[in-house]
């Protein structure tokens, strides 16, 4: 029985179409190009080729290109001005409370970004804990320990926790450690794939309540 929700943040608690997803991607691509000293399109190609082997762009840059100053990456990709890319959602807080499940946040973003977004939506106090990429020393989702250490820290396990995320790679990672997961996919691009692999599937966070009845 599901007694606890392990939730992603970006493109999960708010829609990918909000504008922040595009903003984060654009800033990330600029950082990659500047750091590697290549044109943006070349940086994009290099990242696309390498990323299947890594959980995040940051992990790739640290592993293959000797990035030492991860804070410079965080500052470039997640400036305070990023909040202008979000739209208020007054329904989110009461909706999450209506689920009547303890919740924990697990994000591959830095804590400053997570706290900024949670404060923006007025939901910072709803979680047992907020676990960012630095908590896992840069090895976030889909590394097994990112799920297991997070759950252990809040007194839960993969057997009693449902994981909700917008990345197939990350829900697959949770399944591999023995858990059940739901994919959030606003566009419907991965619906058939997600369902064929045994994942729950929703277009937005507001469909999660109905999905919970299946668990």
Final residue of a structural domain among 53, 83, 113 = 83
Q: Return the pLDDT at 1.
A: 86
Q: Return the pLDDT at 214.
A: 85
Same domain membership, residue 187 and residue 113: yes
Q: Cα–Cα distance between 144 and 141 in angstroms, integer?
A: 7
The tokens describing 65, both together, are 């290109």
Same domain membership, residue 100 and residue 30: no
Kindly list the distances between the CA atom of residue 191 and the CA atoms of 5, 69, 166, 187, 213, in Å, as whole numbers in the listed order: 21, 38, 11, 9, 19
Q: Return the pLDDT at 96.
A: 98
Q: How confident is the model at residue 137 (pLDDT cuts 50, 70, 90)?
A: confident
pTM of the model as a whole: 0.94
CB contact at 8 A, 105 and 111: no
Same domain membership, residue 72 and residue 29: yes
Q: Return the pLDDT at 54.
A: 87
The tokens describing 17, both together, are 């179409």
Same domain membership, residue 206 and residue 154: yes
Q: How confident is the model at residue 138 (pLDDT cuts 50, 70, 90)?
A: confident
Q: Does pLDDT of 215 surpass 90?
A: no
Same domain membership, residue 203 and residue 134: yes
Residue 131: give its domain's CATH number. Answer: 3.40.50.1000
Same domain membership, residue 76 and residue 100: no
Domain hosting residue 180, numbered range: 4-15+87-212
Q: Is 92 helix (H, G, I), strand (E, B) or coil?
A: helix
- What is the domain count for the chain? 2
Q: Return the pLDDT at 2.
A: 94
Same domain membership, residue 201 and residue 132: yes
CB contact at 8 A, 34 and 44: no
Nearest one of 27, 130, 31 to 78, comparing CA atoms: 27
């Amino acid at each position: 029985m599901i007694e606890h929700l392990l939730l992603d943040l970006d493109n999960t608690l708010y829609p990918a179409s909000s504008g922040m997803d595009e903003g984060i991607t654009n800033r990330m691509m600029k950082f990659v190009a500047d750091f590697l000293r290549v044109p943006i399109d070349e940086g994009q190609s290099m990242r696309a080729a390498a990323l299947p082997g890594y959980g995040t762009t940051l992990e790739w840059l640290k592993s293959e290109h000797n990035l030492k100053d991860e804070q410079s990456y965080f500052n470039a990709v997640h400036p305070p001005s990023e909040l202008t890319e979000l739209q208020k959602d007054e329904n989110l807080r009461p909706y999450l409370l209506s689920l009547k499940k303890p919740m924990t946040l697990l994000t591959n973003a830095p804590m400053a970004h997570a706290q900024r977004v949670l404060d923006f939506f007025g939901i910072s106090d709803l979680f047992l804990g907020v676990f960012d990429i630095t908590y896992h020393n840069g090895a976030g989702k889909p590394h097994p320990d990112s799920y297991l250490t997070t759950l252990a820290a809040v007194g839960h396990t993969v057997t009693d926790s449902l994981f909700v995320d917008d990345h197939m790679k990350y829900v697959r990672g949770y399944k591999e450690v023995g858990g059940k997961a739901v994919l959030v996919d606003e566009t419907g691009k991965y619906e058939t794939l997600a369902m064929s692999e045994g994942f729950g599937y929703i277009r937005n966070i507001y469909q999660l309540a109905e999905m919970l009845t299946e668990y």
